[in-house]
């Protein structure tokens, strides 16, 4: 059994882990004062920028004046200013210090990649939250002098008109010297060389991550990725590629058909060094002994202590499959943040991902929260005036508002969170959903979470009894005919999805329709204002095609999230889904 607590003092970036935790305790006990000081620092540094001058802030740094003069903003409000900076405007438009590069959002949430400013302050905040999270994780699940099997990838870099590098926030962080220095101290060394992480082709890098992990099998203590989806994808790939991996280990050379990049091949040749038939036979023996790949991670990496990554929100769907691969290993939910900046750390890493909360760091940004009350029969939210970090109430829903050191002022993040309680004086947040991801035809409003609950309910009620699993799913509000209707796309684990019993899938379709409990939807279905739900069964590998589609558009695999609601404007994905449909069912739930 894994021991629960470390009996030694771990080190985090040259400082003991307990010292990091002690400082975190101090900051969270004094959250209100720390928040005021954080805002003062942001405004003292950036108060003279064009955006704030135009709002008449006049050098004020107190919360009351700031809230009175500066309006709530969305990305659309700040986009013209960010575009000017990207085009080469070097004047202090949004920040006093020049942006060092541009960060790109994934584009899978809105269908369009957003430009955001990136500077050294964001690197510092990233290192801060990594140190805190690692200190708490290492106290719960201590590791020492080991390696990490990390499925991490850089993304394509472009240049803006003004000459700034544009790439993902994670790639901007990975390339910083502070990140490399800090991660050497606070986390086990990555098995894979930089050439693999920064490789030109995702499939080649993934294969090499697996190969490097097998070569260091006895040293691996952490298995991780940015998102749970990436870990699941890695081991789905492993199921198909393990024999090739064993062959490479046996002959001491990476397969030329699997890896063609010269730089990646050279880096892997240095790791392989010589043929190792003993290791190849051991891996093959362990793979043959597994039942449906259950527990493959602890079987092949016996010293792994936990699996780590973002497992909340749209990633929660993958937790079941991840738990299958992890066997009895703990799953630890990673920090809560976005391309815009960090929000909170998971300081209770022993909590299962489904119940994970994130403690807001009072000194990482200035936070406000818009109180939200669900509107009966509407599916939306009524809003009240924003409140401060320490003014929120346990059990209530809020939208997160951020002011950062990177040019975001009273920025609506679009995330709905629930305050689960407090850690000292700072709130613990549970992510609920994105506000702007809505299925809506008439007066109905169903969120990403509502869709997930409906899919989960149908899977439990109908599919589980047939030993069918939902590999992935998405949806679309089809208004091409009147009345419009919901379309839910399911990729199942069936060998031949087209051959799945039609009665089973019809029952699944009916259950999906009934599972949308929003009063606006139910009333509209009963009155005929919304037509019967349509279930489309997809070919195996459909969401791999969706992933490749986004990669072809420049989206990073490290930030990829399957789109849960595909809009009409996202014609490329809709075409893939239509082309991969093998069976169609319409609900009779309200007949």
Residue of 392, 384, 387, 386 lying closest to 422 (CA atoms): 392
Q: What is the pLDDT of residue 1?
A: 25
Give residue-wise pLDDT tens across range 157-196.
Answer: 778 888 887 777 667 666 666 666 655 555 557 899 889 9
571 band by pLDDT with thresholds 50, 70 and 90: confident
Please tell me the distance from the alpha carbon of residue 278 to that of residue 78, in angstroms, as a whole number.
58
Contacts of 14 (CB under 8 A, 6+ apart): 185
Question: Between residues 156 and 528, which one has the greater pLDDT?
Answer: 528
Question: Between residues 232 and 437, which one has the greater pLDDT?
Answer: 232
Looking at the fold, whether 442 and 428 belong to one and the same domain comes out as no
Q: Residues 536, 539, 540, 541: is their CA dihedral positive or negative? A: negative
434 band by pLDDT with thresholds 50, 70 and 90: confident
Looking at the fold, whether 113 and 169 belong to one and the same domain comes out as no
Burial class (CB in 10 A: 0-12, 13-18, 19+), 318: buried
392 band by pLDDT with thresholds 50, 70 and 90: very high
Q: Residue 447 pLDDT > 90, yes or no?
A: no
Q: Residue 359 pLDDT > 60, yes or no?
A: yes
Q: Is the peptide bond before 483 cis (omega within 30 degrees of 0)?
A: yes
Evaluate whether 149 touches 222 at the Cβ level (below 8 Å): yes
Q: What is the pLDDT of residue 6?
A: 35
Looking at the fold, whether 497 and 529 belong to one and the same domain comes out as yes
In a domain, 9, yes or no: no
Instruction: Please compute the mean of the pLDDT values over residues 63-81 and round it to a whole number.
Output: 94
Contacts of 317 (CB under 8 A, 6+ apart): 452, 455, 470, 472, 473
In a domain, 391, yes or no: yes
In a domain, 94, yes or no: yes
Looking at the fold, whether 525 and 493 belong to one and the same domain comes out as yes
Burial class (CB in 10 A: 0-12, 13-18, 19+), 290: middle
Q: What is the pLDDT of residue 122?
A: 79
Evaluate whether 362 touches 31 at the Cβ level (below 8 Å): yes
Looking at the fold, whether 429 and 410 belong to one and the same domain comes out as yes
Question: Between residues 42 and 178, which one has the greater pLDDT?
Answer: 42
Phi, psi of 209 (to 5 degrees): -60, -45
Q: What is the pLDDT of residue 177?
A: 66
The residues that bridge with 537 in the sheet, in sequence order, are 490, 583
Q: How many domains does the chain have?
A: 3
Last residue of a domain, one of 282, 305, 328: 305
Would you give the DSSP letter of residue 4? S
In a domain, 5, yes or no: no
Q: What is the pLDDT of residue 5?
A: 34
Looking at the fold, whether 200 and 284 belong to one and the same domain comes out as yes
Q: Residues 187, 191, 196, 202: is their CA dihedral positive or negative? A: negative
Evaluate whether 524 touches 439 at the Cβ level (below 8 Å): no
Last residue of a domain, one of 390, 412, 434: 434
Q: What is the pLDDT of residue 380?
A: 67
Looking at the fold, whether 471 and 396 belong to one and the same domain comes out as no
379 band by pLDDT with thresholds 50, 70 and 90: low
Q: What is the mean pLDDT of the chain?
A: 87
Looking at the fold, whether 73 and 87 belong to one and the same domain comes out as yes
Please tell me the distance from the alpha carbon of residue 243 to that of residue 273, in angstroms, as a whole number.
19
Looking at the fold, whether 234 and 206 belong to one and the same domain comes out as yes
Looking at the fold, whether 72 and 155 belong to one and the same domain comes out as no
Of the ranges 337-346, 384-393, 475-484, the best mean pLDDT one: 384-393
Report helix angle 319-326 to 228-251, nearest 10.
Answer: 40
Determine the distance from the C-alpha atom of residue 344 to the mean position of all C-alpha atoms in its chain, rounded to a whole number: 14
Looking at the fold, whether 100 and 160 belong to one and the same domain comes out as no
Question: Between residues 14 and 72, which one has the greater pLDDT?
Answer: 72
Contacts of 54 (CB under 8 A, 6+ apart): none
pLDDT > 70: percent of the chain = 90
In a domain, 152, yes or no: yes
Looking at the fold, whether 370 and 430 belong to one and the same domain comes out as yes
pLDDT > 90: percent of the chain = 58
User: What is the enclosing helix (H) or strand (E) of 521?
Assistant: helix 519-527
Q: What is the pLDDT of residue 4?
A: 31
Evaluate whether 450 touches 518 at the Cβ level (below 8 Å): yes
Domain that includes residue 158, residue range: 147-173+191-221+228-305
9 band by pLDDT with thresholds 50, 70 and 90: very low
Give residue-wise pLDDT tens across range 494-533.
Answer: 989 999 999 999 999 999 999 988 777 887 788 787 889 9
Predicted TM-score (pTM) of this structure = 0.80
Instruction: Please compute the mean of the pLDDT values over residues 464-481 and round it to a whole number.
Output: 89
Instruction: Please compute the mean of the pLDDT values over residues 569-574 and round it to a whole number.
Output: 84
Give residue-wise pLDDT tens across range 83-125.
Answer: 998 888 889 999 998 888 877 775 554 456 788 887 778 778 8
Strands 220-227 and 147-151: parallel
């Amino acid at each position: 059994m894994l021991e629960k607590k470390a009996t030694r003092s771990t080190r985090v970036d040259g400082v003991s882990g307990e010292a990091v935790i002690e400082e975190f305790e101090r900051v969270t006990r004094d959250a209100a004062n720390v928040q005021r000081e954080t805002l003062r620092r942001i405004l003292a540094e950036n108060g003279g920028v064009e955006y704030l001058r135009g709002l008449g802030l006049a050098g004020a740094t107190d919360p009351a004046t700031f809230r009175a003069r500066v309006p709530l903003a969305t990305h659309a409000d700040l986009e013209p200013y960010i575009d000017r900076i990207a085009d080469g405007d070097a004047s202090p438009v949004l920040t006093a210090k020049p942006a060092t590069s541009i960060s790109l959002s994934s584009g899978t949430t809105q269908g369009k990649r957003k430009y955001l400013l990136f500077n050294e302050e964001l690197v510092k905040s990233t290192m801060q939250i990594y140190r805190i999270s690692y200190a708490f994780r290492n106290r719960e699940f201590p590791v020492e002098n080991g390696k990490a099997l990390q499925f991490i990838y850089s993304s394509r870099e472009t240049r803006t008109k003004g000459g700034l590098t544009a790439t993902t926030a994670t790639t901007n962080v990975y390339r910083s010297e502070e990140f490399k220095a800090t991660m050497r101290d606070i986390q086990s060394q990555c098995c894979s060389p930089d050439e693999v992480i920064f490789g030109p082709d995702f499939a080649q890098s993934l294969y090499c991550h697996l190969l490097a992990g097998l070569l260091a099998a006895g040293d691996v203590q952490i298995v991780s990725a940015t998102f749970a989806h990436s870990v699941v994808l890695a081991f789905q790939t492993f199921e198909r590629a393990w024999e090739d991996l064993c062959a490479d280990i046996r002959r001491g050379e990476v397969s030329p058909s699997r890896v063609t990049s010269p730089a990646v091949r050279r880096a892997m040749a240095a790791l392989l060094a010589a043929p190792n038939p003993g290791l190849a036979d051991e891996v093959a023996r362990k793979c043959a002994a597994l039942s449906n790949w259950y527990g493959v991670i602890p079987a092949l990496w016996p010293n792994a202590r936990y699996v780590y990554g973002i497992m909340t929100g749209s990633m929660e769907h993958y937790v079941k499959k991840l738990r299958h691969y992890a066997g009895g290993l703990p799953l630890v939910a990673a920090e809560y943040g976005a391309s815009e900046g960090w929000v909170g750390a998971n300081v209770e890493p022993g909590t299962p991902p489904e119940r994970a909360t994130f403690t807001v760091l009072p000194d990482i940004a200035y936070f406000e929260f818009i109180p939200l009350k669900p509107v009966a029969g509407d599916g939306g939210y009524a809003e009240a005036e924003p409140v401060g970090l320490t003014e929120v109430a346990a059990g209530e829903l809020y939208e997160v508002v951020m002011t950062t050191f990177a040019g975001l002022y009273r920025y609506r993040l679009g995330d709905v969170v629930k305050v689960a309680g407090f850690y000292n004086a700072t709130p613990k947040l549970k992510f609920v959903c994105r506000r702007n991801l809505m299925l809506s035809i008439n007066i109905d409003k169903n969120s990403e979470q509502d869709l997930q609950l409906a899919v989960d309910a149908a899977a439990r009620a109908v599919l589980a009894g047939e030993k069918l699993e939902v590999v992935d799913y998405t949806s679309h509000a089809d208004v091409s005919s009147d009345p419009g209707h919901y379309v839910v796309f399911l990729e199942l684990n069936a060998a031949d999805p087209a051959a799945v019993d039609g009665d089973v899938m019809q029952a699944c379709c009916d259950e999906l329709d009934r599972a949308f409990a929003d009063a606006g939807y139910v009333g509209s279905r009963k009155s005929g204002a919304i037509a019967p739900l349509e279930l489309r069964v997809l070919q195996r590998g459909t969401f791999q095609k969706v992933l490749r589609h986004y990669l072809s558009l420049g989206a990073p695999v490290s930030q990829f999230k399957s789109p849960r609601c595909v809009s009409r404007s996202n014609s490329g994905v809709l075409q893939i889904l239509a082309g991969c449909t093998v069976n169609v069912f319409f609900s009779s739930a309200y007949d």
